[in-house]
Amino acid sequence: MRELETKSGTLIGTTLETSQWFVFLLASSVALPIVIGSIFELNFAEIAGLMQRTFFAVGITSFLQGVFGHRLPILEGPAGLWISIFAVMAYSGVESGKSYIETLQTLEAAMLWTGAFLLLFGIFRLAHRVLFVFTPLVTGAFLFLLTVQLSGTFLQGMLGVQQEIEAIHLTEATIAFFTFFFVLALSLFGKGWLRSYAVLLGIVTGWIAYKVWIGSSQDGVQEMKLFQAPEWLAFGPPNFEWSVIPLAFITAVILLSNIVASVVAVSQSIYGKPSYTYSQVNRGSSFLGVTHGITAMFSAIANVPLASSSGFIDLTGQKKKRPFLYASLILVVVAFFPPIVSFISGIPAPVANAALLATFVQLMGLGLSNIASQKLDQRRLTILGVSFLLGIGLMFLPSEVFQGMPGLMRNLVSNGLLVGTMLVIIFEQLWKEPSQSEKGRDQNE
């Protein structure tokens, strides 16, 4: 009898832990397809399809990394860096005469190229050899620039002025800012499960408020199949352009930092100390390449290991990997039922953008903490000043100014995040910090 009760208690515990992981995976995956859909002016059915493919990609890639890659319970979610690339190429593509679908096909190819580089880094055990470039200054600058660039995209979505410049709708904007501060308040002052599910609770609350004051955000009820597999190459075949290869290589190098940051953060939460092995980083890189290929072929947003998984583990105390793997597979199964996905896709874009912007407050803080972890001497301040001025300055330039450039230059130069990050890396490596003896000599003089 006691053995039966023990098994029953274990089953209930595993079920509850799996449920919590599933909600966390869902909450981390639901907003970005809506954001991308609004940027590329996709209709409701297309956003629902993108969300279906995103759920499938998040579930399958999280499972593969957990079993074969870095082998830790880390959510593989849509990458902030890729959201930035999607947003920049959406605007620059239109200015160069491309349709949104043609731009999305080019992005499919960019994800495939990036995946190929990441796979090669892992197979030939090169991933850990480039980690020396990711100093706290580089990591902090990248996170800061990422939040700066994406904050504009999210704020435009909150105000309803994503593509065509028009008057701000005060009711929608009010609901969006209410959602933003609601999520922020729960994440800062909430206790237990309130804090754990701040994003999900904020989205639900904002969605209800939107329904009450504005009405349905959907384009009408459409007939759909009860069961349907995610569509393969929904945007059409990849459009391979030579101009995206340098962009893909730089993106692959920068994404390696995501693997280390996530593994270190989650290992700290599980084992009480931050750690990673070169083999773990190389396996993670290999399977990050595989998962990039999967997301590209299913026309979704490329995923990366998210360090926010460590916060979830700290809040819930869930350190077992099995419930995480179960939850990943459940998300894959849900992706095969369009009515469920369609219901979730009805979340209004202003609400989704607001919830995401709230999560980036912590990311901005993490970036500033990394920058401030070392003494900000004249060398570091100069590197940051030059990189931020040029990187953020590029973000404010209208996309049409890059129209006359070759495709290679346009894809690189028009992305302030990539330019700023690469400048920090280059300056850090070329302008070496003076040794202790040199510092002492300067002080004596």
Averaged confidence pLDDT in the chain? 84
Q: Tell whether the model's pLDDT for residue 164 goes beyond 70.
A: no
- The answer to whether residue 108 scores a pLDDT higher than 90 is yes
- Residue 214, Cβ density class (10 Å: 0-12 exposed, 13-18 middle, ≥19 buried): middle
168 or 141: whose pLDDT is higher?
141
Contacts of 407 (CB under 8 A, 6+ apart): 96, 241, 242, 243, 244
| Predicted confidence band of residue 5 (pLDDT cuts 50, 70, 90) | very low
At what angle are helices 244-271 and 278-297 packed, to 10 degrees?
130
The CA radius of gyration of the chain, in Å to the nearest whole number, is 22
pLDDT in tens, 233-283: 999 999 988 878 988 998 998 888 778 878 877 888 888 777 778 899 899
338-357 pLDDT tens trace: 998 888 877 888 888 888 88
Report whether 420 contacts 396 (CB < 8 A).
Answer: no
How high is the pLDDT of residue 182?
93
- Confidence band, pLDDT 50/70/90 cuts, at residue 30: confident
Q: Using the predicted structure, report yes or no on whether residue 87 has a pLDDT greater than 60.
A: yes
**pTM for the structure as a whole:** 0.81
pLDDT of residue 348: 86
Which residue matches tokens 């079993």? 67
Indicate whether 210 pLDDT > 90: yes
Mind listing the pLDDT tens digit for each residue in 325-342? Answer: 999 999 999 999 999 888
Q: Give the Cα separation of 348 and 209 in Å (integer).
A: 10
Mean pLDDT calculated for residue range 9-27: 79
pLDDT band at 109 (very low <50, low <70, confident <90, very high): very high
- Asked whether the predicted pLDDT for residue 292 surpasses 90, the reply is yes
Rounded CA-CA distance 218/64 in Å is: 34
Instruction: Determine the distance from the C-alpha atom of residue 99 to the mean position of all C-alpha atoms in its chain, rounded to a whole number.
Output: 24
Alpha carbons 253 and 245: distance in angstroms, whole number? 13
User: When comparing pLDDT for 190 and 255, which is higher?
Assistant: 255
Report the alpha-carbon distance of residue 87 to residue 83 in Å, rounded.
6
Strand partners, 77: 304
Token duo for residue 192: 């237990």
Structure-block tokens of residue 132: 């020396």
